[in-house]
A and B are shown apart, each in its own frame.
Chain A
Amino acid sequence: MSAEHQHHSQIDEATWAKSLILFGMGIYLAVLIFTGNLANYINLRFAWLAYVGTALFFLLALANLYACLSPRRAHSHHHIGWDSLLIVAFPLLLALLIPSRSLGVEAVSGGIGLSPVGVEGVASLNRNPLDRNILDWLRAFNRASTPAAFNGQPVDVSGFVYREPRMGADEFMVSRFTMSCCVADAYPIGMPVRSGAASDFAPGAWVRVRGEVLADLFGGEFAPIVLADAVDSIEEPAQPYLYP
């Protein structure tokens, strides 16, 4: 066993590990795409990024594997340390250990916004009230000249339950995170709900709320409050976030 051989086998170990991590990352992205869990992380407008990522991971992994299997081929000559390999494997470890989840009520830190995010188009105003989601409602409400303009309009929105200590026993907020690019910019918004059944739902539970709108003061500012006729438990939607 010569020193040179030792050196080469060491490089080979690292190359094997690199191939393994690259394959693992490619598989991880592919799994996210196929299970639909990708929607938990990025705005699906940019789903093509994950496709590109998967393809490139597999390409690089195959090139490295090829290098492992044909020792006479060129090896990369600068050594990648084990610390680098471990750090790069960290996202995979995290993805394996912690089940994929969207941002929910636990991720709300410091309250839910009542103002809409993004540019307020007229589309939200013209939309049939029953087709408006929470973001559409807040936008339409913010554009209206008088808050009372929407009083009595029918509402049908879904979101997760959020509750603050200052709220009454018959109140909660039906909330969603908005997301422009990825969870880095996720921001929670919501509409206050008044319902006799409010206490039946735990914080974080996904609900569909139907009723009518009343413009009223909520925490010192006018908000579109939902006077609920029905609050039903639902499954978390496939697209948990609203895209501004």
Chain B
Amino acid sequence: MRIDHLKTASPLPLKRVIFVLLAASVLSAAIYQALRAGDDLYLTASVFATRFLGIFIEAVPFLLMGSLTSGLIETFVKTDDILRFLPRSRLGAALGGTALGLIFPVCECGVVPVTRRLFRKGLPLSMGVAFLLAAPFMNPIVFASTYIAFGFGGVLIGRALLTVLVAVIVATVIGTFADPREVLKPTSAKADEETCHHHPHGGPSLRAKLFSAMQIGADDFFEMGRFLILGSALAALLQTFVPQDSLLALGAGPVMSVLFMQILAFLLSVCSTVDSFLALAFVNTFSTGAIISFLSFGPMVDIKSTLMFTGVFRRKIVLYLVLLPFVLNLLAGVLINVALGY
């Protein structure tokens, strides 16, 4: 009797696995056959697969690094440690948040799980938002790649200044929503008590802590990975069906060029560690303001990070997190163009 009751309450997971796997394979086989039948469709699917896997392959190592960092923070950083060093003022917190990127070197795929973890450890909202937006640039790898691509000059300095400026402004604005609970999803808000039921048996040895960090990292990878994958798929779909040169034709003039490059940054969803090389490809075609806005806005917001934001923030805040950096970077890019007399 009791077993029956259990079964109806929650079906055996093994059965569910088999069912899901069967359903998935039947579905994929059907799709595969349909694609083979229609040659054009098959080729289109192949182009989509190449584009999707390309974005995924380049981004996934960074998500892994970010997830592992998140696991290490969970196991090794105590909430008290964070609270002790907090700046008091909101502006101070926002500035501190941008500098936090130097301590946790992550790019835009890795920054979301780390930010979420830091929020749960009690990091103030404005600091976390500033970290989220600035960290993808504020790390040695991105400094290096920007330097290699553009040398030490206007683009590197402009990118750094604009990134910090926009991150601080957006963080201060969002920081005025006093209660993090109105901003964060429940799973991201600070845990009321330290969830320390990981080591019920024996003391937390270094080995056990490392294993725990890796397991938490793996969980974070799965939780954030789905947003990365959905975002990559969306970006790949757009690239497969929207001709690139129809966009290129739009990108002329001091305003339109900035607007275009920002939309491109959003759509392409290229990682911040390598986007300088991509921007290099547009140096001849686009204004300096557009290049700097591209390099500042791209790491903050793109399709895949927007989807990842939805796993941390409530929907209204995600909208702010996308629109505010967009508008601020656009303004800055146009101002730079005007100042340079483009």
Contact = CB atoms under 8 A, between A and B. Distances in A.
Contacts of A85: 222
Contact of B197 (A77, A88, A110): A77
B56 interface: yes
B6 interface: yes
A53 interface: yes
A6 B47 CA distance: 44
A86 B20 contact: yes
Contacts, number: 220
A102 B50 contact: yes
A91 B56 contact: yes
Interface string B214-234: 111111011101100110010
A42 B52 contact: no
**Which secondary structure dominates where chain B touches chain A?**
helix
A91 B3 contact: no
A127 to B, nearest CB: 19
A13 B274 contact: no
A42 B57 CA distance: 8
A223 to B, nearest CB: 16
Contact of B57 (A6, A32, A76, A86): A32
A46 B277 CA distance: 11
A218 B68 CA distance: 54
B198 interface: yes
Most chain B beta-carbon neighbours within 10 Å: one of A6, A40, A98: A98
Most chain A beta-carbon neighbours within 10 Å: one of B14, B51, B187: B51
B206 interface: no
Given A182-B54, A182-B270, A187 B46 contact: no
B244 A181 contact: no
Chain B contact patch, size range: 35 or more
A52 interface: yes
B289 to A, nearest CB: 18
Interface in B43-94: 43-47, 49-58, 60-62, 64-65, 67-68
A103 B44 CA distance: 11
B57 A187 contact: no
B17 interface: yes
B231 to A, nearest CB: 11
A98 B28 contact: no
Nearest to A40: B50
B208 A98 contact: no
B274 A78 contact: no
Given A74-B199, A78-B219, A109 B278 contact: no
Contacts of A187: 244, 281
Nearest to A102: B50
A139 to B, nearest CB: 10
B51 A103 contact: yes
B245 A111 contact: yes
Chain A contact patch, size range: 35 or more
A80 interface: yes
A175 interface: no
Most chain A beta-carbon neighbours within 10 Å: one of B24, B245, B246: B245
A75 B195 CA distance: 13
Interface stretch (A113-121, A150-158, A164-172, A226-234): A113-121
A67 to B, nearest CB: 6
Nearest to A108: B243
Interface in B164-201: 187, 195, 197-199, 201
A148 interface: no
B214 A60 contact: yes
B152 to A, nearest CB: 16
A45 B58 CA distance: 11
A106 B6 contact: no
Contacts of B16: 82
A129 B235 CA distance: 38
B8 interface: no
B280 A95 contact: no
A94 B198 CA distance: 36
Interface in A1-49: 1, 3, 6, 9-10, 13-14, 17-18, 21-22, 25, 29, 32, 38, 40-43, 45-46, 49
Interface of A: 1, 3, 6, 9-10, 13-14, 17-18, 21-22, 25, 29, 32, 38, 40-43, 45-46, 49-50, 52-53, 56-57, 59-60, 63-64, 66-67, 72-78, 80, 82-88, 90-91, 93-95, 97-103, 106-107, 109-111, 113, 115-120, 178, 180-187, 244
A-B pairs with the 4 shortest C-beta distances? A110-B243, A183-B54, A63-B214, A53-B61
Interface of B: 2-3, 6, 10, 13-14, 16-17, 20, 24, 28, 31-32, 43-47, 49-58, 60-62, 64-65, 67-68, 187, 195, 197-199, 201, 208, 211-212, 214-219, 221-223, 225-226, 229-230, 233, 235-236, 239-246, 268-271, 274-275, 277-278, 280-285
9 contacts: A1-B3, A10-B10, A52-B65, A56-B64, A60-B68, A74-B208, A95-B49, A110-B245, A181-B277
Given A49-B62, A118-B283, A184-B54, 7 more contacts: A22-B218, A25-B60, A41-B54, A82-B16, A103-B50, A184-B235, A184-B268
